[in-house]
Amino acid sequence: MTSTITLPLFGEDAEQIEAEPRPPAVSLGMAASRARLVAYRDTQHADDEQRALLVVDCPFCDSQHVHPAGLLAKPRVCPRTSRCVGRPTGVYYFPAVTQ
């Protein structure tokens, strides 16, 4: 007796279920946000220089994002743009940084 049967591969269902089309993600565009420098000492570096973190108030997800800004004596701050982690279609920039 010989029979032919099609077996599903790698978790495929025998019945093909069509996925519902998802609407495209809405682009949140670009928005200005407030940013400030915060000084800290890094224990991983042998030098005793203070380093800077850029703390940004995100306009999209109402939380704070932290970015490295290099040495406190010469921080890298502007111009800079970043993408929000919580809402990846939003890009924020900081036109001015407070210390």
pTM recorded for the entire structure: 0.62
pLDDT tens for 26-73 read 778 888 888 899 999 888 777 788 999 999 898 888 889 998 888 989
What single letter denotes the amino acid at residue 11? G
CA distance 45 to 71: 12
Mean pLDDT of 77-95: 80
Q: How many CA atoms lie within 13 A of 17 on its CB side?
A: 5
Q: What pLDDT is attached to residue 11?
A: 64
